[in-house]
Chains A and B, each alone.
Chain A
């Protein structure tokens, strides 16, 4: 998935097209082109990561539930979208241009319902009011239960969906807008699928932000997450608030999954690759901040794209973890967080 865009639609190797030019100018051109493409890819992929991180930000950052199954919720989003819009399915009439993105949005309510049910029957037994004040705040229990859910979804997914990689096909993923040439022949390639996905991601994130910030439901959710005991005394149905918040966190990550499904191929085991990225993003952005989780995801996207410029492919993911460790160690409250967790 990394750096694939750079190879798409590029006409000729630059050096061949400018045989007579001095070598240093060509090097500079290549450098500028690579940097600009890393920036645009960082922004587009970063914002999709940002949306994905918001989902975990709600569940882990705000509700403080350790959820190892978040990657599988992403995977469910991908498969939901895939099964909705593939040929001969419910939404296939939408066509290959609009369909995949509408399919991604439609994954949200499905996974929302799934997440709310998971919470109602399993997660609520090891989190929330039940574990307030208990030793370790129920984290040991959450760890096991969500690991179990993750195993069931991965392997159940293998039974239901098979283990051959699939993708949501759209012609947009092999088309790109060309900007430039900006410097001699250096051109920026904007992959159309990623660009549309980027807009959908930003709009979804903005809509969620407005909902949480300005509606009654949003206030209840934030109050319940911040202090469940106090929220109960204020007449908020904390269990219901948690269920909705968990469902929202699942649904949001699923939308990101549906969007990513337009430009990567995936199997039921895809979740593992992204769960770490999500945790990195949430911690980078500062726990407890939705806004922060989004920017944390963007940061991870940037680090990934830029490390592609200088590092061999195997080390790109290692770079994310090194940056993650450095930031956590130097600024434990996260890049955008207000204060560190109290002792």
Chain B
């Protein structure tokens, strides 16, 4: 559990219990079978929305084709009854397993894609399955009745029992979703949604977490579909794999409030009865009018409350609680976890590293080394290949040639999050924060990335915030920080993973004189505690005060290496920075 999640979770569970009981009590008084059906369908579609929300709301992996899982669940339950005489009590869990397997089969190739491509590929799966189902002759499959053993086959003459089961299934889904929301699972997903590269650089295995969220989501979607088939008794490819099914999950969630567990519940509670009532009341007089009204309703709500009802209501009537101050643990409570050095050589050894983009050699046969406890400055004019060098070192880009070893361990060819876990922290030229998460959560992402337990992760995050002097801002969303604070927060995120080496990419960029001095002070403190730092910087002035040694890059090559004073007087360096003319004038 995340820090402070306990009371939050307890409150949510209380709300859930009260709402479910009230809903069931109301349902018990409804005798009209049509309204009973609506009351059963509300939790089913809410559950399907909750399932979509885990992948697309928290994780931001927009899926247009969640009907795959709904349909798989529905057909599994129905066909299992028909061919094997398997009760839906077992068929629904079986559908869950198959839904989970389908999620793995779908996720494995599809997570190679991002953004629009991912969303559209997801759309293609249910439609392809839809046509295959038609081809196989499952156009309209009805669930056989077993009047003699109703209970065993989830058959009840009393429709309100279905409402009860539906509510229980939804409660299960909401609890799973709440646990995810309040754990490192949810934090990893939120981080991935807001900035995937930053999450990877902080040690989060984005691919793995996305896959887990798809599997959980797929299993939950299959449960919703399986139970839907049991309630409606007839499945057709269009009614369970069709585009409107996928759209239903998206609509109830976005209407109610995306990335909140209550969103899909609120959305389903309003839209499902609305659609059904319109269908019943208006459909007979003027076919089509219900669709028009429904369309107007969802457009209207989207324009009035773009994030969904839940967030609008919360922001308007429940003003945000003041950010809770974090327990002010003294920085010495959690000493930085030191990793023992294995080798006696330099901490980082880079040899003959090259990387080209088409014909441009951005990094060309670069070699240097960093000793433990040293600050190495990498300087060079724009386009010298400094950031590309960092991207190759921490696995964002692959190297064409060369080798890099951290404490004797090869570094190249690993994924970004693996490099981070080996002990290489990274900050970015343009700050990559998770703007909607509070500062503390931003930093905890880094600690989770290093594989720490919850307690340790929080302790390390608090320590890192103290180290950079940002502990008093820990409850504020990162989006509200100043540039300097963002830079420090990114530094804290890297420090929270207990790195052995920090790669800092233009940490001082865009800072004023005084801010610059503050950050330099923090870096000096970090270094005094034994951290090894490799920093890219433009401002020569600041670098002269900070770095022990310089490596000068120009056109991707190492131009000079050595002590700062010697390097800045090297004529080839001056030429690279200021040009031949300037040099000639100086010498004249």
Contact = CB atoms under 8 A, between A and B. Distances in A.
Nearest to A150: B295
A341 B120 CA distance: 14
Given A148-B302, A328-B113, A332-B113, A139 B62 contact: yes
Interface string B55-69: 000001010100000
Interface residues of B, number: 52
B361 to A, nearest CB: 19
A136 B61 CA distance: 10
A144 B251 contact: yes
Interface in B190-226: 193-194, 196-197
A318 B299 contact: no
B295 A148 contact: yes
Interface in B97-134: 109-110, 112-117, 119-121, 123-125, 127-128, 131-132, 134
A186 to B, nearest CB: 29
A140 interface: yes
Contact of A159 (B194, B289, B302): B289
A117 interface: no
Contacts of B113: 328-329, 332
Given A143-B250, A147-B247, A136 B112 contact: no
Interface string B128-172: 100110110000000000000000000000000000000000000
B254 A140 contact: yes
Given A276-B123, A324-B124, A329-B110, A144 B302 contact: yes
A155 B288 contact: yes
Interface string A126-154: 10000000011001110111011111101
B296 interface: yes
Nearest to B255: A144
A144 B250 contact: yes
Interface in B389-442: 435-436
B147 to A, nearest CB: 35
B588 interface: no
B258 interface: yes
B349 interface: no
A206 B462 CA distance: 62
A317 interface: yes
B295 A343 contact: no
A149 B292 CA distance: 9
Interface string B280-293: 00000011111110
A341 B117 contact: yes
Nearest to A311: B135
B298 interface: yes
A321 interface: yes
A283 interface: yes
Contacts of A210: none
Contacts of B135: 312, 314-315, 318
Nearest to B136: A314
A154 B291 contact: yes
Given A126-B306, A272-B243, A140 B258 contact: yes
Contacts of A318: 127-128, 131-132, 135
A227 interface: no
B287 A163 contact: yes
A151 B291 contact: yes
Interface string A309-343: 00010111110011011001100100000000101
B294 interface: yes
A64 B131 contact: no
A156 B291 CA distance: 8
A308 B109 CA distance: 27
A133 to B, nearest CB: 10
B299 A149 contact: yes
B62 A328 contact: no
Contacts of A268: 288
Nearest to A136: B60
Nearest to A151: B295
B286 A159 contact: yes
B247 A135 contact: no
Contact of A332 (B112, B251, B288, B302): B112
Q: Which of B121, B286, B306, B435 has the most CB of A within 10 A?
A: B306
A157 B287 CA distance: 10
A325 B128 contact: yes
Contact of A144 (B109, B110, B194, B298): B298
Given A139-B62, A315-B132, A328 B120 contact: yes
Interface in B226-273: 243, 247, 250-251, 254-255, 258
B382 to A, nearest CB: 20
A139 to B, nearest CB: 6
A280 B297 CA distance: 29
A155 B131 CA distance: 25
Contacts of B322: none
Contact of B121 (A126, A148, A272, A325): A325
A316 B134 CA distance: 11
Contacts of A150: 295
B25 interface: no
A148 B110 contact: no
Contact of B295 (A155, A312, A321): A155
A341 B243 contact: no
B343 interface: no
Contacts of B288: 154-159, 268
A217 interface: no
A271 to B, nearest CB: 11
Contacts of A120: none
B289 A279 contact: no
B292 A155 contact: yes
Nearest to A326: B109
A125 interface: yes
A122 interface: yes
A276 B303 CA distance: 26
A141 B302 contact: yes
Contact of B298 (A126, A147, A156, A276): A147
Most A C-beta atoms less than 10 A away, residue of B117, B194, B288, B436: B288
A159 B124 CA distance: 30
B299 A283 contact: no
A283 B289 CA distance: 34
Nearest to A312: B135
A168 interface: no
Contacts of A343: 114, 196-197
Given A126-B302, A126-B306, A318-B131, A329 B121 contact: yes
Given A125-B303, A314-B131, 8 more contacts: A122-B299, A126-B306, A151-B295, A154-B291, A155-B290, A314-B134, A317-B127, A328-B113
21 contacts: A64-B116, A122-B303, A125-B303, A126-B302, A135-B435, A141-B254, A143-B254, A145-B298, A147-B251, A148-B295, A148-B299, A148-B302, A151-B295, A152-B296, A156-B291, A159-B286, A159-B287, A159-B288, A276-B124, A283-B120, A317-B131
Interface of A: 60, 64, 66, 68, 122, 125-126, 135-136, 139-141, 143-145, 147-152, 154-159, 163, 268, 272, 276, 279-280, 283, 287, 312, 314-318, 321-322, 324-325, 328-329, 332, 341, 343
Task: Give 5 nearest A-B pairs by CB, closest first.
Answer: A155-B291, A151-B295, A158-B288, A155-B288, A148-B299
